[in-house]
Amino acid sequence: MQFSKLFIPTLKESPADAEVISHKLMVRAGMIRQLASGIYSILPLGLRVLRKVEQIIREEMNQIDGQEVFLPSIQPAELWIESKRWDFYGKELLRIKDRHGREFCYGPTHEEVITDIVRKEVRSYRQLPILLYQIQTKFRDEVRPRFGIMRGREFMMKDAYSFHADEKDTQHTYSQMAEAYGNIFKRCGLDFKQVQADSGTIGGSFSHEFAVLADSGEDEIGFCDSCGYASNLELAGSKPPSPSTPPATLQELKEVETPGKKSVEDIAGFLNLPARQIVKTILLENENGLVAGLVRGDHEINTIKMRNLIGCEWLQAAGEEAIAKHPGLHCGYVGPVGLDLPVYADNEISALHDFVTGANKPSAHLTGVQVKRDLKIKQFGDLRTVKANDPCPHCEGGRYQVKRGIEVGHIFILGTKYSSAMKAVYLDQQGKENAMVMGCYGIGVGRTAAAAIEQNHDDRGIVWPRNLAPFQVIVIPVNYSDEESKAACDTIYDRLRELGIETLLDDRSDRLGPKLKDADLIGIPLQIIVGPKNLAVGQVEIKIRKTNESDLRPYPRVIEDIPNILKDL
């Protein structure tokens, strides 16, 4: 492709609202433009990269016998009502009405549609398993669209769904899928981790995320430095406490005046105790009302672990309205002693003695609190978020490291959640009807490309991993109107294209400086710079984008070396 014909509107400045480097560089490199909040047009250079990601995904999906489909983006409300997600999905679901007043949504995901197709067509165990995938536009009305196409409202996703006769077969496909995901992200040149994850609103029993390690990531990943266990921090298990010996005499319960002392730091300072001796009582709200969670003052409550422990649909910080319904609750002074709510406590609480809690009275706390004597705990469990350096629960001596990650893929075993709700059944060998067991598997196409930039850039621009680069080589004449230079550039360009190498020829009449800047910005792995002085002695300059190393090579012999040079990039 000739640069002059390509629509690559590069910019010197980043957009004011861009927070992360991938967003800045994608706009500056002329890959994307924003149309509305979280809604982006993908321009030619951007599309070339997305198509690369898609192609890698397609090849790996086909490799494990995935069959590509293309499903409608507009979905009828009835299906979502059947799966019980019409209400549950909330504001993220963009709801629309047609001219007859019928309700639809713009698909944020396709479990309902695919389950509807399969339940209508599949009758027998002989037709299972089935693995279908698509690469298609989704819409989610995200609360905070940001970071360009990394968290858009409209975005490209590869979503795959599998249907099985039993759990064991589902697990087989799940492992194949995990391996395929590993191959995809390796081929995309990414440094990633497969981590244990929560199944969230998609629902289901088992899931892993693929996280690209980057400081700009919205997720936190906890992984053991010794055994390799890795998990999203929202789920990472903590090691249960070793049983502690109680002191010879336990303190009595005592009420102390603590006016204005609401935070753990305040109380700890006031009573001259370490934060771990103060127990925090956190009020949360779920579909059944208020609940309380207890963690040590030096720990943070983890609502996802707590939701999983309770087994409720959702759990969030208690709102003012819910709290107001319980007159005995005084913000900053809530405590578990005599509290008339279901109380869940982190395992670490069971190892405490003589601790402090709120007194359920304004301006007062209780000291000398004991678990067995004073508290009614509905259930103990692992309810805290692990921190760096915490001991790993899966090995002896391992410690957690915590890094930020970008979730680029997510795989789930769904079990029969959708097939039961939507009656997707098959007849087994005995002629008995069973719900199909399902798995679902997503990859954000645009997010993967953006994540690649987060990991591969420098102060001059993008440094594409070779398999995602929109072009492999860019030929840059110092002066394209110089006849000899033009002839050499054209020869290189034509020959590389014959060799099947995607090549860009910068045929613009600009000076060399801006052309080099653009080449660096758009991140083409290999630059061939052709100037009259070098040509006069039969040489051209080869520059590697990643290392900025350049050397002079004999022209035209160098052309035949290019495939080899590219291999090593």
255 DSSP β-pair partners: 366
In angstroms, how far is the first alpha carbon of the chain from the final one? 21
**Cα 64 off chain centre by:** 23
Place of tokens 């991938």: 22
- Which position among 85, 140, 410, 457 is part of the footprint of Mg ion (CB under 5 A)? 410
DSSP character string of 487-517: HHHHHHHHHHHHTT--EEE----S-HHHHHH
Phi-psi region of 541 (alpha: psi -120 to 50; beta: other; left: phi over 0): beta
Residues 88-127 that bind ligand ATP (CB under 6 A): 109
Q: What type of residue is 461?
A: G
Look at residue 444 and give the partner it binds from ligand ATP, Mg ion, none, a contact being a CB closer than 5 to 8 Å depending on partner kind: ligand ATP
Q: Rule CB under 6 A: say whether 198 interacts with ligand ATP.
A: no
CB nearer to Mg ion: pick between 109 and 503: 109
Instruction: Output the residue with the shortest Cβ distance to ligand ATP.
Output: 444
- Report, in Å, the least distance between residue 31 CB and ligand ATP: 15
Nearest CA to 476 out of 513, 448, 451 is that of: 513
Q: How far is CA 445 from CA 119, 143, 310, 321, 349, in A?
A: 28, 20, 35, 41, 44
- Report, in Å, the least distance between residue 227 CB and Mg ion: 24
- Which position among 28, 119, 140, 417 is part of the footprint of ligand ATP (CB under 6 A)? 140
> Which string of b and e fits 478-515 if b means at least 16 CB within 10 Å?
bebebeebbebbbebbeebeeeebbbbbbbeeeeeeeb
Nearest CA to 83 out of 479, 440, 475, 351 is that of: 440
Cis before 247? omega within 30: no
Q: How do beta strands 473-477 and 503-505 pair?
A: parallel
Look at residue 85 and give the partner it binds from ligand ATP, Mg ion, none, a contact being a CB closer than 5 to 8 Å depending on partner kind: none
Q: Rule CB under 5 A: say whether 208 interacts with Mg ion.
A: no
Look at residue 164 and give the partner it binds from Mg ion, ligand ATP, none, a contact being a CB closer than 5 to 8 Å depending on partner kind: none
Q: Rule CB under 6 A: say whether 553 interacts with ligand ATP.
A: no
Q: Rule CB under 6 A: say whether 336 interacts with ligand ATP.
A: no
Q: Rule CB under 6 A: say whether 335 interacts with ligand ATP.
A: no
Q: Rule CB under 5 A: say whether 158 interacts with Mg ion.
A: no
- Report, in Å, the least distance between residue 236 CB and ligand ATP: 16
Task: Specify the stretch interacting with Mg ion by CB under 5 A; choose among 8-16, 109-117, 271-279, 408-416.
Answer: 408-416
- Report, in Å, the least distance between residue 312 CB and Mg ion: 19
Q: What type of residue is 198?
A: D
- Report, in Å, the least distance between residue 569 CB and Mg ion: 32
Q: Classify residue 402 by burial, with Cβ atoms within 10 Å: 0-12, 13-18, 19+.
A: middle
Look at residue 393 and give the partner it binds from ligand ATP, Mg ion, none, a contact being a CB closer than 5 to 8 Å depending on partner kind: none
CB nearer to ligand ATP: pick between 446 and 523: 446
Secondary structure of 5-28 in HEC code, one letter for each residue: HCCCCCCCCCCCCCCCHHHHHHHH
- Report, in Å, the least distance between residue 142 CB and ligand ATP: 5
Look at residue 193 and give the partner it binds from Mg ion, ligand ATP, none, a contact being a CB closer than 5 to 8 Å depending on partner kind: none
Residues 145-164 that bind ligand ATP (CB under 6 A): 151-152, 155, 157
* Residue partners of 400: CB distance under 8 A and separation at least 6: 222, 223, 224, 225, 236, 386, 387, 388, 389, 390, 391, 392
Q: What type of residue is 509?
A: S
Place of tokens 């978020």: 385
Residues 436-495 that bind ligand ATP (CB under 6 A): 442-444, 446-447
Task: Specify the stretch interacting with Mg ion by CB under 5 A; choose among 85-93, 219-227, 303-311, 403-411.
Answer: 403-411
CB nearer to ligand ATP: pick between 154 and 507: 154
- Report, in Å, the least distance between residue 465 CB and ligand ATP: 17
* Calpha distance 453→465 (Å, rounded): 9
Q: Rule CB under 6 A: say whether 426 interacts with ligand ATP.
A: no
Size of the site for ligand ATP (CB under 6 A): 18
- Report, in Å, the least distance between residue 171 CB and ligand ATP: 19
CB nearer to ligand ATP: pick between 54 and 346: 54
Secondary structure of 209-237 in HEC code, one letter for each residue: EEEEECCCCCEEEEEECCCCCEEECCCCC
- Which position among 142, 266, 300, 482 is part of the footprint of ligand ATP (CB under 6 A)? 142
Look at residue 155 and give the partner it binds from ligand ATP, Mg ion, none, a contact being a CB closer than 5 to 8 Å depending on partner kind: ligand ATP
Q: Rule CB under 6 A: say whether 30 interacts with ligand ATP.
A: no
Look at residue 339 and give the partner it binds from Mg ion, ligand ATP, none, a contact being a CB closer than 5 to 8 Å depending on partner kind: none
* Calpha distance 212→404 (Å, rounded): 8
Other beta carbons within 10 Å of 383: 27
- Report, in Å, the least distance between residue 301 CB and ligand ATP: 20
CB nearer to ligand ATP: pick between 139 and 344: 139
- Report, in Å, the least distance between residue 446 CB and ligand ATP: 6
Q: What type of residue is 550?
A: S
Site string for ligand ATP, 374-413 (x = CB under 6 A): ---------------------------------xxxx---
CB nearer to Mg ion: pick between 219 and 298: 219
Residue 268, both tokens: 């700890």
- Report, in Å, the least distance between residue 155 CB and ligand ATP: 4
* Calpha distance 109→160 (Å, rounded): 10
- Report, in Å, the least distance between residue 522 CB and ligand ATP: 22
* Calpha distance 165→180 (Å, rounded): 22
* Contact footprint for ligand ATP (CB under 6 A): 109, 140, 142, 151-152, 155, 157, 200, 202, 407-410, 442-444, 446-447
* Contact footprint for Mg ion (CB under 5 A): 410
